[in-house]
Amino acid sequence: MEIKNMKTKHTNLQDTAIKDIETKDTEIKDTEIKAAKIKNAVRFETCVCCHKQLPIPVDEPIDYRAFYVEGAGQLCYDCYHKIYK
C-alpha cells in the first residue's frame, strides 16, 4: 500500500512538472515572437550627436560596441573623434 501511494504521488509530480515545462515553453515562444516583431521595427542605433544611422544593432551589448559612451550613448566614428581627441 505504501509503495502504491508513493508511485501515485511520483506520477502526479511528473505530470505537474511536464505541464510546467510546457507552459513555460509556450511563454518563451510568445516572448521570442514579440522580440522578433520589435526587432523588425527598430533595427539600428543612431549617433546621439549627429543622428546618423549606424551599422550597430540596437540589441548589441554595449560592451561590444565601438564609440559607445556610458552616460551619453552611441556616437559615430566622426563625432567620437571630434569629442574625444
Please give the residue ranges that form the binding site for Zn ion (CB under 5 A).
47, 49-50, 76, 79
Q: Which is nearer to Zn ion, 56 or 79 (CB)?
A: 79
**Min separation Cβ 43 and Zn ion, Å:** 18
Quick count: other Cβ atoms within 10 Å of Cβ 45? Answer: 23
| Amino acid type, 72 | A
Cell numbers for 77, please give them: 566614428
CA distances from 55 to 25, 34, 66, 78 (A): 33, 23, 11, 14
Q: Which is nearer to Zn ion, 20 or 78 (CB)?
A: 78
Q: Which is nearer to Zn ion, 56 or 76 (CB)?
A: 76
